[in-house]
Amino acid sequence: MRVRDSHPSRTRWSRSLIALLGRVADETVAKKGKLCIPTVIKERRRRGISPFRPRRHPVEWTARMIRLLGSASDREVAQELRLGHGSVAYARLRLGIPPYGAPSFTPSGYRWRARSLRLLGKTSDRAVGKTLGISVAAVFRKRRSPGIASYTPGPKRFHWSEETVAMIGKMPDKEIARRLGIAKGTIAWKRVQLGKPRHRYRPPKRIARTPSLQKLLKLPTRQLVERHGMARSTITILRKEFGLPTPDGRNLRWTPQAIARLGRQPDSGIARTLGLSAAGVARERRSLGIPAHRAQHRWTERERALLRKMPNRQVADRLGLPLTTVAWQRRWVGIPPPPRPRRRR
């Protein structure tokens, strides 16, 4: 599989490090190349190389295996079933089976009666705790102690067939997840487990590579999508073929007309019309040395005297200031709000 390393910020991988991917543990490669482990994992997955220690297949718990849970310690059950200690403990907790030799738990401060015990498992633990006036943790521990199943069981495990496995890698993970009705992360996890590369979209061959297409790709991506009906992935691949950079949409928004509005209108209003954030507009305004639209108001003693007589809303309307500015000034000076007039009965 050929992988391009054209990005200038990408880590330069030597041939010796690439040869170690999948043959030794990712931690060993990271230590030898002086890299972080996520970088090694991402590079290995990008090249479609399976891990050195592949993940175990999901455990299919049979009725005989479930009967062993809680009959002995988790370590003894794990040794008998030849599984990991964590897998056995997780399965026991998920099924609500108490551990071996654990006494029944009764939270202090609450006395469980027969009427309260009948609520366990009939609805969610949060609803039971709200009804009884106790915490969710207390309800969870009490329900798990006798082995009562939860009201909301965990998600069912998806069984992969030959047809569903054959779909992986031939179409995007998002499309497979939509067709099968499962999460996108489940498809990605299965694809990594099988060692298959990610599906790479290729633009249709009917798009002629002409000089006019090269000029068209210099337009903003949003304009190509809305006016010409091109997919974003197609635009990205065609720009890479022609070696064209992606136009900066923010620079295209800052026309002479938009720059002339800086300092004359609030940053929030300019941001809404240009499709930017208020922080981005303020950053552009400060880079040009333009002061804000509304400079900091200098309070006089006469205006501060109004804070002792009127509420914030009336002061803001009278002085033509934002309500937040008046509220902050009251807090800064330490003037309490005037008492509200009593209503006559």
Distance CA 31, CA 42 (A): 15
- The 10 Å Cβ neighbour count of residue 115 is 8
- pLDDT over threshold 70, residue 7: no
Angle at 255 between CA 250 and CA 261, to 5 degrees: 100
Domain coordinates in residue numbering, the chain: 103-156, 162-194, 211-247, 252-287, 296-345
Cβ pair 11, 55 in contact under 8 A:
no
Distance CA 176, CA 184 (A): 8
- Residue 108 clears pLDDT 60, i.e. is over it: no
Tens digits of per-residue pLDDT, 29-62? 888 888 888 888 888 888 888 888 766 667 788 8
3-state helix, strand, coil in the chain (%, to 5): 50, 5, 45
The tens digit of pLDDT for each residue in 265-308 reads 878 778 877 777 778 888 888 888 888 776 567 888 888 888 88
For residue 123, report the phi and psi dihedrals to the nearest 5 degrees: -150, 180
pTM: 0.29
